[in-house]
Amino acid sequence: MNKKLKISSFLMVCALFTSQQTFAEDKKNTAIEKTNELLSIERIYSSPSLNGQTPKSLKLSPDGTRVTYLQGKNNDLNRYDLWEYNLQSKKNKLLVDSQSLFSGTEVLSNEEKARRERQRIYGFGIMEYKFSNDGSALLFPLNGDVYYYHLATKTAKRLTETSEFETDVKFSPKGNYISFIRGENIFVLNIETGKEKKLTKDGGSNNIKNGMSEFVAQEEMDRMTGYWWSPDEKNIAFLRVDETPVQVVLRNEIYAEKIELIDQRYPSTGTNNVTIKLAVTDIKGKKTRFIKLDKAEGKTSEGNEDDFYLPRVQWLPDSKNLSYQWQSRDQKTLRLKIYNLKSRKQKTLLTEYSDHWLNLHHDLVFLSDSKSFIWASERDGYKHLYHFSKEGKLINQLTKGNWVVDEIKQLDEKNGLIYFTGRADTPLERHLYQVPINGKSPEHVARISKRNGFHSINFSNDSKTYIDSFSNISTPTQVSLHQVSGEHITWLEENKVSPKHPIYPYYNKLVEPKFGTLTANDGATPLYYKLYKPDNMVPGKKYPVIVRVYGGPHAQLVKNNWQGADMTQYMLQQGYIVFQLDNRGSNYRGTAFEFPIYEKLGEVEVADQITGVEYLHSLEFVDKDRIGVFGHSYGGYMTLMSMFKASDYFKAGVSGAPVTDWLLYDTHYTERYLNHPQVNTDGYDKSSVFPYASGLKNPLMIYHGMADDNVLFTNTTKLIKTLQDEGKLFELMTYPGSKHSMRGKKVKVHLNKTIMNFFDRHFK
């Protein structure tokens, strides 16, 4: 280990130690009487939530007078209403009761069901809302129609009432119109007159979708829309998606009382993607111009010159220029391009390259004069911020160091500052920082957030205040308002653990983990872990361990945020140790930590998890013959690979909704990490679970939702057949009608009881 790495590791450990001291002090300073209540699985998934009041979709109004948010009802945490905290009266109050507008059962269109599944939006009532730019009104969809709420008159008006479903609802920039998608076409509606205008005509026929995001954009690119208003409210840029090239997969959705056969256009890896075009139309729908796009490069499907992605589209403040990001199919090239509406000419501002893959982000901000922009790049191995001129010339690097930026939160041009969240202190915490736009001190960012833990930030338009949604391992999520200096102004939701808090009876029984680092088998890379031990352990007794794993890219399990009274705490109360480790390939550690998985999944990830188990073997209170593994989705895949390839370490496993054959997964995700299957045939074979199935020696349980449209149920049926052919015994639990997320109290209670029953039978 070199000197620089030793110093870095030392600082990481110091940060962990400081954080653990803070956790202990936080809990010590919380006056809670001793209680003896133990958790039940039913209580974990019942209302009211044990996490207390946890408002969602927090927003500071553009006029700075109120904070709005969504909150579940006390008697039904999945039914959401619109609330506000008035900054003048300092009171929370209900703005819109969703049941007062619609009290029946919501009937969602298939498109909206899929969209919400992609967004991970779970619940009913008001699930999304938007402010007008002047802060005078709110817009929200409910049961397929659009509602307009005027804050001064405190009245809600229904703007649409059709048998068709309106989705992706937006205010125009000046607040004169709303826009939405209906029947796969773009509509605008004049708020004052109520008159509608249909801007596109060919959506809904011949597999054409206008203004909508395709499957992989929703699921893998974090792009949930396909149209964008110009700031001057004169034009709308939109994507025209042709799904014709995408193969049709006949997918079964198995319910308790029926089986639905669904023709789904699913772009599995190596097959055709949609054909996509970028256009601009005026809001009268009279003039539509298509923008000429670069041709494909690298390996595509059948040499298709239109085989590329458009992950981002964004107007410049001048409304004269439109930017878009062009990504090659192999995701090794990304071009930021700009198109001028008047001249119809375009140019490339910058190009990013990688030998592995490029991670997408939302960190592109044009300054108000449209003459320069802020951009995030991993060109030095860590995600950092850069300032470029409109011509694409680098002005300066704004942040620098062996740590990553999360995302830009605010650009304060008046004072020459950028506010962003990042991991400059430790990868295990997210803080708010500021850095000057002049780039004079990229290695010396200033931390704004005070408390150790995880901070989610929403800024006011004037850059003077921000909302901080904060938690750490000891503190349930608290929401507060702060001055830009970080000074606390007021609580929006203190969520203090008091006798009235739902978690109060269980709080003293909650176990805090030990955080630490191990060295990977390369002899250099530090791996973060957290270890939970049952309360009141008996000296000399050895305990079973459950390794809870995810292990996939763009994820992080080991962090200093609130976990609450969850299944980990339940497992501890049943006498299990719980262990989690973030292996190489996971997020927030830089590209050198992510890239080892390229073209060979399930190899280095399993090796790192074995490093974790070898550490467990060294602990005198661990029974090394009773170490199990459990994970869902990529974690389900990791469970299978661990059970098949490392049976000496993992003695029982539960695999949830696993990918078993990467040829069944989608193009954008799978090819990012495994390349095109024609280029990396051997890598695909070795990354599937099937070559290792004969290695199963210990008890295995598999579960899967039978209506999963993300990790298709076919992954599990192929595994079932393989294990049967191998003569391997295993257990199986399927859930009719359940999607990938396994939603619903009844499903979650049954599933977790089944998991615990499995481990109890084999480990107790």
**Which helix or strand (DSSP H or E) is residue 16 part of?**
helix 3-28
Residue found by looking up tokens 């009937």 in the block: 107
202 in catalytic set: no
Query: How far apart, in whole angstroms, are the C-alpha atoms of residue 450 and residue 473?
Result: 16
Mutual orientation of helices 604-617 and 634-645 as an angle, nearest 10°? 70
**Domain contains 208:** no
**Domain contains 207:** no
Find the radius of gyration of the CA atoms of the chain: 26
Question: Nearest CA to 756 among 622, 569, 582, 580?
Answer: 569
Statement: residue 394 has pLDDT above 90? yes
What is the dihedral sign for C-alpha 533, 652, 637, 41? negative
Average pLDDT over residues 559-564: 96
**Domain contains 718:** yes
The domain in which residue 732 lies consists of 501-763
So what's the pLDDT on residue 13?
42
Contact 443, 455 (CB under 8 A): no
Query: How far apart, in whole angstroms, are the C-alpha atoms of residue 629 and residue 640?
Result: 9
**Domain contains 600:** yes
**Domain contains 300:** no
**Domain contains 25:** no
So what's the pLDDT on residue 251?
84
- Any idea what the CATH number is for the domain that residue 650 is in? 3.40.50.1820
Query: How far apart, in whole angstroms, are the C-alpha atoms of residue 456 and residue 661?
Result: 36
| Number of domains the chain contains | 1
Residue found by looking up tokens 């506010």 in the block: 419
Statement: residue 221 has pLDDT above 70? yes
So what's the pLDDT on residue 77?
72
Using DSSP's 3-state secondary structure scheme, residue 167 falls into: strand
Burial readout 542-575 (b: 16 or more C-beta within 10 A, e: otherwise): ebbbbbbbbbbbbebbbbbbbbbbbbbbbbbbbe
So what's the pLDDT on residue 4?
35
**Domain contains 510:** yes
Statement: residue 17 has pLDDT above 70? no
Question: pTM value?
Answer: 0.92
Angle at 609 between CA 607 and CA 612, to 5 degrees: 115
DSSP code of 597?
A: G
Q: Which one-letter amino acid corresponds to residue 630?
A: F
So what's the pLDDT on residue 298?
67
Which of 4-18, 468-482, 523-537, 640-654 is the least confident region? 4-18
**Which helix or strand (DSSP H or E) is residue 571 part of?**
helix 567-573
Residue found by looking up tokens 């089944």 in the block: 754
| List 132, 172, 449, 633, catalytic entry | 633
**Domain contains 538:** yes
CA neighbours within 13 Å on the CB side: how many for 53?
A: 19
Using DSSP's 3-state secondary structure scheme, residue 405 falls into: strand
Residues with Cβ within 8 Å of 675's Cβ and at least 6 positions away in sequence, in order, are 299, 330, 598, 599, 683
Residues with Cβ within 8 Å of 639's Cβ and at least 6 positions away in sequence, in order, are 549, 629, 630, 631, 653, 654, 655, 656, 658
Average pLDDT taken over every residue of the chain: 92
708 in catalytic set: yes
Query: How far apart, in whole angstroms, are the C-alpha atoms of residue 337 and residue 333?
Result: 13
So what's the pLDDT on residue 75?
76
| List 406, 708, 709, 738, catalytic entry | 708
